[in-house]
Structure 1
Amino acid sequence: MSRPITVERQFYTQKEAAEYCGYCVVTFRQFAKDYEIPKCGPKRDRYRKEDLDDFMTNPTSFHNPVRTRRHGHAQVVV
């Protein structure tokens, strides 16, 4: 009896990527923006498994301080 062939996926949709990382879609969407997780594909709507693994291992390497949300007023220096 032969075993079924299992193919490991290399690219995930946003919903699949959120599930793979253990987040709900809304939370993952915000992380993807704040941490600039790279998107792939012709429509830029897929996430590479390798990038997701790297993000889960070391999220600070993807962090973009410009995208960090700030609450309240920002001090302006003239």
Structure 2
Amino acid sequence: MLSFFRWHPHEFRTPLNILSGFAQVVTAEAERIFDEFVQLNEYYDGTGIGLTVARSLARRLGGDVVLDTTYNAGARFVFTLPW
């Protein structure tokens, strides 16, 4: 589910918040979840490379994908690209 676009003219980036069906991710796992083949919950299908690929592509374009650790109603990933 896409939540909204928000523009910060001083940063020249457009963050896109992506709400996920994932359960809340603890802060200690916020970076590890982007490693290849990492799955924090073995009950979900998948290979554990989706977030790795998303972050890699965003960084090649000068942006990033991060986990919003302040959000506590599930998992929210913030995808930013430069203008």
Q: Whose radius of gyration is greater, 1 or 2?
A: 1
Under a length normalisation based on structure 1, what TM-score does the superposition of the two structures give? 0.27
Which structure's residues are more often strand, by fraction? 2
Which structure's residues are more often helix, by fraction? 1
